[in-house]
């Protein structure tokens, strides 16, 4: 597959470029950076700090290379991802988006575009996190009375909170309970007491260079169950992003999720 990476200097973009370069089923056709960056026009391998040339360049306009690709992998920012989505739609290209922090309206644009192109959206592309989701669905079904609280920890530079993963985990648990996530979610509990039964509390911690940690607490009387995932770096997400892109090869237009790729 011919692949374009958006934001190849980003934490995820670098690792996705590296992971795609190592795969035999992928050919990188270029990267796309914001205008004005000193690495625009440079070799993609140097831009992504791989320490080697890949023989492909970084552009500051997706339009320049989009026709050469089969799939775009985009882990960037909300605004950029909306523009990438528009371009993918206009050029009928497959898209993997892992950016988080979208509004409801923005999320809907991905669903609408899936009528025209293959789109895979995943707030978390780690296999283990997807196993965690399955465990949580089972746990809340077996413990419907437990108080659910979610703590997510990330690095100091993360711009959105709560994490996209914590939202997806919460939505999966709400669905398993037969409830609406929007009616359960409470963001922070400062000043609110006592705890309202049936709510799902969200807590975000930002510090240092923590790559990603999610703990779901199921609180009972005299006991609690904690299910946690820690990543030590972002490589698991980059590998998963490439698996998602490979999955889209030859797929018809439609909205796909990580559950289609990692069938559990």
Report, as residue numbers or ranges, the catalytic residues.
Answer: 154, 158
User: From the CB of residue 220, how many other CB atoms can be counted at a distance below 10 Å?
Assistant: 11
Strands 147-154 and 212-219: antiparallel
Residue 108, C-beta contacts closer than 8 angstroms, at least 6 positions apart: none
On the 0-12 / 13-18 / 19+ scale of CB atoms within 10 A, 52 is exposed
Q: Using CB under 6 A, which residues numbered 101 to 130 contact ligand LZUJQKHR?
A: 123-124
What does the per-residue mask of binding to ligand LZUJQKHR show for 129-168, with x meaning CB under 6 A? -------------------------x---x----xxx---
Handedness of CA 190, 163, 152, 133 (dihedral sign): positive
- Least CB distance to ligand LZUJQKHR at residue 42 (A): 25
Q: Using CB under 6 A, which residues numbered 211 to 230 contact ligand LZUJQKHR?
A: 211-212
Residue 28, C-beta contacts closer than 8 angstroms, at least 6 positions apart: 2, 3, 4, 5, 17, 20, 21, 44, 54, 56
- Least CB distance to ligand LZUJQKHR at residue 209 (A): 10
Q: Is 122 annotated as a binding residue?
A: yes
Q: Using CB under 6 A, which residues numbered 4 to 63 contact ligand LZUJQKHR?
A: none
Q: Is 51 annotated as a binding residue?
A: no
Cβ nearer to ligand LZUJQKHR, comparing 156 with 193: 156
Q: Is 164 annotated as a binding residue?
A: yes
Q: Does 76 bind ligand LZUJQKHR (CB under 6 A)?
A: no
By CB under 6 A, name the binding residues for ligand NDP: 6-7, 9-13, 32-34, 37, 75-77, 80, 98-101, 122-125, 164, 234, 237
Instruction: Please give the C-alpha separations between residue 211 and each of 12, 59, 68, 167, 239, in angstroms, as whole numbers.
Output: 11, 28, 33, 17, 15
Instruction: Please give the C-alpha separations between residue 59 and each of 34, 47, 99, 120, 168, in angstroms, as whole numbers.
Output: 9, 11, 20, 24, 33
122 binds, among ligand LZUJQKHR, ligand NDP, none (CB under 5 to 8 A by kind): ligand NDP
Count the site residues for ligand LZUJQKHR by CB under 6 A: 10
Residue 150, C-beta contacts closer than 8 angstroms, at least 6 positions apart: 162, 166, 169, 170, 200, 201, 202, 203, 214, 215, 216, 217
**Token pair of 76 as six digits:** 């960037």
239 binds, among ligand NDP, ligand LZUJQKHR, none (CB under 5 to 8 A by kind): none
Residue numbers in the known binding site are 7-12, 52, 98-100, 122-125, 164-165
Residue numbers in the known binding site for (S)-2,3,4,5-tetrahydrodipicolinate are 164-165
Residue numbers in the known binding site for NAD(+) are 7-12, 52, 98-100, 122-125
Residues that bind ligand LZUJQKHR (CB under 6 A): 100, 123-124, 154, 158, 163-165, 211-212
């Amino acid at each position: 597959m011919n692949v374009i990476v958006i934001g190849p200097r980003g934490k995820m973009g670098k690792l996705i470029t590296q992971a795609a370069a190592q795969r035999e089923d992928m050919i990188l056709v270029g990267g796309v950076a914001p205008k004005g960056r000193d690495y625009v026009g440079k070799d993609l391998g140097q831009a992504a700090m791989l320490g080697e040339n890949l023989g492909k360049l970084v552009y500051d306009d997706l339009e320049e290379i989009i026709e050469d690709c089969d799939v775009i992998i985009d882990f960037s920012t909300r605004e950029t991802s909306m523009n990438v989505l528009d371009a993918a739609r206009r050029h009928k290209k497959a898209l993997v988006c892992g950016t988080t922090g979208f509004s409801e309206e923005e999320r809907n644009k991905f669903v609408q575009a899936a009528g025209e192109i293959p789109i895979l959206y995943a707030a978390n592309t780690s296999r283990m996190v997807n196993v965690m989701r399955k465990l949580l669905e089972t746990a809340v079904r077996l413990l419907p009375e437990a108080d659910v609280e979610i703590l997510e920890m990330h690095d100091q530079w993360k711009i959105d909170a709560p994490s996209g993963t914590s939202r997806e985990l919460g939505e999966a648990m709400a669905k398993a309970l037969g409830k609406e996530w929007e009616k359960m979610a409470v963001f922070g509990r400062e000043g609110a007491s006592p705890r309202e039964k049936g709510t799902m509390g969200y807590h975000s911690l930002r510090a240092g260079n923590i790559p990603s940690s999610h703990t779901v607490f199921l609180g009972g009387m005299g006991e609690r169950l904690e299910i946690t995932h820690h990543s030590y770096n972002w490589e698991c997400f980059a590998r998963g992003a490439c698996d998602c892109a490979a999955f889209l090869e030859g797929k018809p237009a439609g909205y796909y999720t990580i559950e289609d790729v990692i069938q559990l």
